[in-house]
Amino acid sequence: MLLWSEFEKGRVQKETLKVERFRRVFVQHDIDADPETASARHLQFLPETVVLVEGAAELCEMLAGIGEVGIITNGIETVQAKRIENSCLAPWLSFVATSETCGFAKPDIRFFGYAARRFRTFNKDEAIIVGDRLDADILGANQFGIESCWFNPLRAKNYSAAVPTIEVARLSEIAGRLLGR
């Protein structure tokens, strides 16, 4: 997680992150393996692993019925594209925006601006980001000036500067919370 945090702060490049995460683990556990080979194999097979959070498909379908749905991620472009293709979410998505393509990572407001331009129409007053990371998703929404929903299944305490508009422990709670506002 430290490397991703460093990436989100612009201190580590994505290409470095891809390999460095393996190098650090191998050094820490005294594993004699090539981190570049491990990274390549990981990126080859990672997109095949699609595990949706309970209620994700239903939420995307419901939200697509009232507006556009996009995915914004600091993940790797090729991995995210293949994961969406392998999931059941594609029919409800207008776009997938990655930090890799944009050049800036969440919570940078330039990434949020990039994502906003991917919508056919975008209105900050009608937009909401649903995310599980306070430091990337919710803080980015705060800085960009849109509402946010913190998906917090572990009911963690928020000790950060990020302030979610709403908080839910299950995705199935979002529809009611949005309609109740």
Q: In which band, very low, low, confident or very high, does the pLDDT at 2 lie, cut at 50, 70 and 90?
A: confident
- 181 pLDDT above the threshold of 70: no
DSSP labels, 111-179 = HHHHHHHHSSS--TTT-EEEES-IIIIIHHHHHHT-EEEEE-TT-----SS---SEEESSGGGHHHHHH
Give the Cα separation of 20 and 35 in Å (integer). Answer: 7
Class of the CATH-defined domain 56-179: alpha beta
Distances (CA, A) of 20 to 14, 65, 132: 10, 41, 24
What pLDDT was estimated at residue 9? 77
pLDDT tens per residue across span 131-167: 999 999 999 999 999 999 999 999 999 999 999 999 9
What pLDDT was estimated at residue 138? 98
pTM, two decimal places = 0.83
Instruction: Give the chain's end-to-end CA distance (angstroms, integer).
Output: 34
- 54 pLDDT above the threshold of 80: yes
Ranges of each domain in the chain: 2-48, 56-179
pLDDT tens per residue across span 90-127: 999 999 999 989 999 999 999 999 999 999 999 999 99
Q: Is the dihedral of CA 23, 42, 50, 69 positive or negative?
A: positive
Distances (CA, A) of 149 to 90, 108, 116, 140: 21, 18, 17, 12
